[in-house]
């Protein structure tokens, strides 16, 4: 992995013109180094990231547009434009766009770990069915949690 370089990543650009489809969301990687990884995300209405844990990373989300509902360590909350969501390693969290408008935000993790590689792997799946994404994620240091007993 290359060291971080100085410069500006433009608003509508990412690393090497990469755009990923991850669980129905659009992710555009903005920076990548061993120490940190950032990406711009668009969550269309109704999309979500199920509850999971990053055992080796701290994660942050800076809200740009919309309302993002979240479950953070079992507690429901939400974030609006200008808010910063802090997700320390080993703290379970899930992210949900329950609104009828897209959510736009900037994510970053520190350190990078294997998350960049996981996003490539998920993006490359023929179909992103939940069971296969969960199994794949575990191999890249992301642990999805089982659904609550009353789900389903």
Residue that wins the pLDDT comparison between 83 and 10: 83
Strand arrangement of the beta sheet that strand 84-87 belongs to:
20-22, 25-32, 37-43, 103-110, 58-65, 84-87
Residue 113 has pLDDT above 80, yes or no: yes
Specify the DSSP element, H or E, that contains 102: none
The whole-chain average pLDDT of the chain stands at 93
pLDDT band at 103 (very low <50, low <70, confident <90, very high): very high
Tokens of 81: 């434009």
Least confident range of 65-79, 116-130, 136-150: 136-150
| pLDDT of amino acid 94 | 95
Length of the chain: 152
Q: Are strands 84-87 and 75-79 parallel, antiparallel or unpaired?
A: unpaired
Distance CA 143, CA 136 (A): 10
pLDDT for position 99: 97
Residue 134 pLDDT grade (very low, low, confident, very high; cuts 50, 70, 90): confident
**Residue 152 reports pLDDT greater than 80:** no
Question: Is 151's pLDDT higher than 80?
Answer: no
Of residues 105 and 12, more confidently modeled? 105
Which of 53, 50, 73 has the alpha carbon at shortest distance from 141? 53
Q: How far is it, in rounded angstroms, from Cα 128 to Cα 124?
A: 9
Please tell me the predicted confidence (pLDDT) of residue 48. 92
What is the average pLDDT across 53-67?
A: 97
Question: Using one digit for the tens of pLDDT, what is the confidence trace for 61-102?
Answer: 999 999 999 999 999 999 999 999 999 999 999 999 999 999
Residue bearing tokens 């959510």: 103
What single-letter DSSP state applies at residue 128?
A: -
- The 8 Å CB, 24+ separation contacts for 11-16 are 14/39, 14/40
Q: Which residue has the tokens 């990543």?
A: 9
């Amino acid at each position: 992995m290359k060291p971080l370089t100085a410069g500006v990543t433009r608003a509508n650009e990412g690393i090497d013109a990469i755009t990923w489809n991850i669980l129905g969301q659009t992710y555009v990687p903005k920076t990548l180094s061993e120490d940190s990884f950032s990406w711009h995300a668009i969550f269309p209405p109704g999309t979500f990231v199920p509850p999971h844990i990053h055992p080796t990373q701290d994660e942050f989300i800076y809200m740009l547009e919309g309302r993002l509902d979240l479950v953070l360590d079992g507690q429901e909350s939400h974030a609006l434009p200008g808010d910063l969501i802090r997700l320390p390693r080993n703290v379970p969290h899930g992210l949900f766009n329950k609104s009828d408008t897209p959510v736009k935000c900037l994510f970053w993790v520190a350190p990078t770990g294997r998350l960049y590689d996981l996003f490539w792997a998920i993006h490359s799946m023929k179909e992103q069915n939940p069971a296969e994404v969960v199994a794949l994620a575990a191999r890249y240091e992301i642990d999805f949690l089982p659904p609550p007993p009353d789900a389903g």
